[in-house]
Structure 1
Amino acid sequence: MEKQAERVPCASGMRARAAEFVARVTARNRLPLDYSVASLRVVDFLVDGLRKGGADRERVSGPLLALGAYVGEVLVRRAGAVWVDLDEAQRGYFGQPVGVRMPDGRVWNPLGKVLNRFEAGGPEESLQTFYLTLHGRARRRSAA
């Protein structure tokens, strides 16, 4: 029963989920998952590896959720987003219980974006490109 509850993500647990994933993966593989925009290319590579390995979505749902948490946490740390629990209408639209709200109020779905990359692959589903073309990011202040 506890394991099922753990599978349904909530906004308050996403940062910890991402940190746990990074600690586990970087300890074994020394992957450069440092919450940078450039590290999203590594996420693209990891998702592609799961897909090319022939795993079905159900079998890799845990790693895909962890990768989605990581992508969302990059948005939180680099773009000024915050994790939010989605309302019923948003859940219906995105198919996910959590997302991120950007500084301009827009809500995005990093968990779903990772699933899209897994299911469709290809450069049009790149997670790094998703970040770089994302509307509503906080503008970085340049040093004077």
Structure 2
Amino acid sequence: MTADTTAAATAPDGTAAQETRPHAAAKPVRWAADAVATMREGARVRLDYSAQSLWRVDRMIEEIRRERAPIEAVADVLRGFGAYAGEVVVRRTGAEWWATGGEHWVRTPDGRLWDPIKEARRSFLGHGSLRLLCRDATADA
């Protein structure tokens, strides 16, 4: 597939529509920006879209997990952190966001698909790391 390929989506009126790749990035880019703003204003933590900043994100997820918050209560925060990690990969590798069926992935130039939003949830459950996902996704960049 090429970068200009489109994905099938359903329009609000129920008809089939095509979702272009730039459109697929709209929501995750917004979720990432919201996470950056929330961290800056609420936790006084600066996120700059660098791979090193994902150490801070992993630590924040660990702190939330230690507070024993139900995953449902922090789902939006985790989505924002995952989208932020995806944006780090996109910016470092020239990857692109892909979306279908409400799910969002990052496709790196080598064709691999990554699910940073799911990885944020896995990290919250103690089985993942956004920093390591970024390291693996950008290893060949």
Kindly report which structure 2 residues correspond to 1:64-103, keeping only aligned pairs within 5 A, or say none. 64-86=78-100, 97-103=103-109
Cα deviation per residue 1:40-88 (whole Å; 9 max; x = unaligned)? 00110011011100111111111111111111111111122111103x6
Q: Which consecutive unaligned segments of at least 5 residues does structure 1 have?
A: 1-9, 89-95, 140-144
The answer as to 2:140 corresponding to 1:134 is no
Q: Which consecutive unaligned segments of at least 5 residues does structure 2 have?
A: 1-23
- More deviation, 74-83/34-43: 74-83
Greater per-residue strand proportion? 2
Could you tell me which residue of structure 1 aligns to residue 126 of structure 2?
120
CA distance in structure 2 between the partners assigned to 1:113 and 1:17 by the alignment: 15
**TM-score, normalization by structure 1:** 0.74
1:23 to 37, 62, 65: 37
Q: Secondary structure at the match of 2:137?
A: coil
Please state how far the C-alpha of 1:135 moved relative to its aligned partner.
6.2
Instruction: Tell me the C-alpha RMSD between the 2 structures.
Output: 1.9
CA distance in structure 2 between the partners assigned to 1:49 and 1:99 by the alignment: 25
Answer yes or no: is the 8 Å Cα contact 2:40–2:47 preserved in 1.
Answer: yes
**TM-score, normalization by structure 2:** 0.75
The runs of at least 4 aligned residues of structure 1 exceeding 6 Å deviation read none
Q: Judging changes above 3 Å, is the alpha-carbon distance between structure 1 residues 113 and 68 closer, same or farther for their aligned structure 2 residues?
A: same
* Equivalences, count: 118
